[in-house]
């Protein structure tokens, strides 16, 4: 039996029972919101009513690297109107047209609560965060978004008995962690505010699961590689930028050393892992936080693979002290054997497949935009 708190502020109040069955029995209505959440999806006439069998999903930080793609996959499975994308930035027209999009500031608890209550949310995917390099440049802001914002989401999940997904990261490990491979359970001790906030999130989620029955789920992502998203200031961003540079100028200046090996993953595998993990029955989960792995490579190895397609690529190395120090504190490989055993995780993209897909996707995007391709 699961237990959840009836109120975000009521840590000393009574507990409610059977939240999962209660969520399934709700009589769902169409998408609604407060005046500041208006979009064309607010109209009752513009959507079909969702079925009670499907989850109602809110994604925070939805305009980052992962949110739009995950929303697309979830909408295909559960219905467009059942997946609400949110951020504090204005959505591009194609995102706005693709399904429900609302303003949501994770530091504004009242606004988040309105969204959850008015739209009968049952799953929450919390992607709002400042990444590693950006966080080190603005520690105070990273602390607010990555920790205060997380606590708002945790409180809401307890109050409304939500299934909550909060990603963790390679950055949750530190220089004293095992590096090759890093297991699920080990010393972490990261040296960045990003990493500290992720370890804090892992532990808080697990604590609230054990104490109150919160359905908290967390995956430690490797560096995620995608052709369709903007870079967000992460230490592994070079592994996306090198493809753009290879096709535009033929030259990439890398801010890491040539031999810096880090775990990486194609965004397709990342989305699939997230969806499969969210769908896994609770009884299959022996942990609340899992590593997921696909491949590990160095800048020189990915450059060598790209040269099989674009022999003219030139790479120079000019290590940035901040990002290199961060990368040197991270594992070179993940041990994801628990995820494989418990809920059947298995990656599909290796380095060869990743490089072919990235070059093809970016070339198509540039061609369609009328941009030159090297």
What was the pLDDT predicted at 34? Answer: 41
Joined tokens for residue 225? 């590689």
CA distance 347 to 294: 5
**pLDDT averaged over the chain?**
88
Name the more confident of 21 and 141.
Answer: 141
Joined tokens for residue 54? 């499907």
Over range 279-303, report the average pLDDT: 97
Q: Would the pLDDT of 40 be above 60? A: no
Is 109 part of the annotated catalytic residue set? no
| Nearest CA among 294, 292, 299 for reference residue 327 | 299
The model's confidence at residue 2, banded by pLDDT at 50, 70 and 90, is low
* Range in 134-138, 193-197, 236-240, 291-295 with the lowest mean pLDDT: 134-138
Q: Would the pLDDT of 276 be above 90? A: yes
pTM score of the predicted model: 0.86
Task: Tell me which H or E stretch contains 264.
Answer: strand 262-266
Q: Tell me the pLDDT tens digit for each residue of 194-213.
A: 999 999 999 999 999 999 99
Q: Count of residues for the chain?
A: 374
Joined tokens for residue 336? 């994801």
The model's confidence at residue 39, banded by pLDDT at 50, 70 and 90, is very low
The model's confidence at residue 52, banded by pLDDT at 50, 70 and 90, is low
What was the pLDDT predicted at 228? Answer: 85
Q: Are 123 and 55 in contact (CB under 8 A)?
A: yes
The model's confidence at residue 23, banded by pLDDT at 50, 70 and 90, is very low
Chain-centre distance for alpha carbon 8: 24
Over range 305-309, report the average pLDDT: 98
Strands of the sheet with 262-266, listed across from one edge: 223-225, 262-266, 295-297
Over range 68-81, report the average pLDDT: 97
CA distance 336 to 172: 15
| Nearest CA among 100, 68, 218, 87 for reference residue 157 | 218
The model's confidence at residue 368, banded by pLDDT at 50, 70 and 90, is confident
Over the Cα atoms of the chain, what is R_g? Answer: 21
Q: Which residue among 78, 109, 127, 194 is the active-site one?
A: 194
Alpha carbon dihedral 194, 200, 202, 206, in 10-degree steps, equals: -170
SS3 state at 327: helix
Name the more confident of 151 and 228.
Answer: 151
Residues facing 254 on adjacent strands: 317
The model's confidence at residue 315, banded by pLDDT at 50, 70 and 90, is very high
CA distance 89 to 195: 25
Residue 80 CB neighbour total at 10 angstroms: 18
CA distance 58 to 71: 9
Q: Tell me the pLDDT tens digit for each residue of 327-360.
A: 999 999 999 999 999 999 999 999 999 999 999 9
Residues facing 220 on adjacent strands: 168, 291
Joined tokens for residue 251? 């030259």
CA distance 161 to 141: 28
């Amino acid at each position: 039996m699961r237990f959840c708190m009836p109120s975000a502020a009521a840590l000393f109040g009574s507990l409610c029972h059977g939240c999962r069955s209660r969520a399934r029995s709700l009589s769902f209505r169409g998408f609604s919101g407060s005046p500041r959440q208006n979009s064309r999806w607010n109209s009752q006439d513009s959507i079909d009513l969702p079925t009670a069998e499907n989850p109602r999903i809110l994604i925070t930080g939805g305009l980052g690297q992962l949110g739009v793609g995950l929303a697309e996959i979830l909408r295909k499975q559960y219905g467009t109107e059942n997946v609400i994308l949110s951020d504090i930035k204005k959505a591009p027209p194609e995102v706005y047209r693709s399904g429900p999009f609302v303003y949501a500031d994770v530091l504004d608890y009242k606004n988040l609560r309105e969204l959850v209550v008015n739209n009968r949310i049952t799953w929450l995917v919390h992607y709002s965060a400042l990444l590693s390099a950006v966080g080190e440049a603005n520690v105070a802001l990273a602390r607010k978004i990555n920790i205060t914002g997380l606590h708002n989401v945790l409180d809401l999940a307890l109050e409304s008995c939500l299934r909550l997904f909060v990603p963790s990261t390679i950055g949750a490990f530190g220089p004293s962690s095992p590096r090759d491979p890093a297991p699920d359970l080990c010393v972490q001790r990261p040296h960045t505010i990003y990493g500290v906030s992720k370890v804090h999130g892992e532990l808080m989620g697990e604590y609230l699961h054990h104490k109150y029955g919160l359905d908290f789920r967390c995956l430690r992502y490797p560096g995620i590689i995608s052709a369709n998203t903007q870079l967000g200031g992460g230490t592994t961003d070079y592994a996306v930028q090198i493809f753009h540079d290879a096709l535009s100028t033929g030259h990439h200046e890398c801010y890491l050393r040539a031999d810096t090996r880090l775990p990486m993953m194609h965004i397709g595998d990342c989305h699939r892992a997230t969806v499969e993990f969210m769908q896994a029955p609770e009884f299959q989960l022996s942990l609340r936080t899992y590593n997921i792995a696909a491949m590990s490579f160095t800048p020189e190895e990915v450059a060598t693979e790209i040269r099989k397609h674009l022999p003219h690529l030139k790479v120079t190395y000019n290590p940035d002290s901040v990002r290199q120090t961060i990368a040197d504190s991270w594992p070179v490989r993940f041990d994801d054997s628990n995820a494989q055993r418990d809920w059947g995780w298995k990656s599909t993209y290796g380095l060869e497949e990743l490089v072919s897909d990235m070059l093809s996707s970016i070339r198509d995007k540039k061609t369609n935009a009328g941009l030159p391709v090297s």
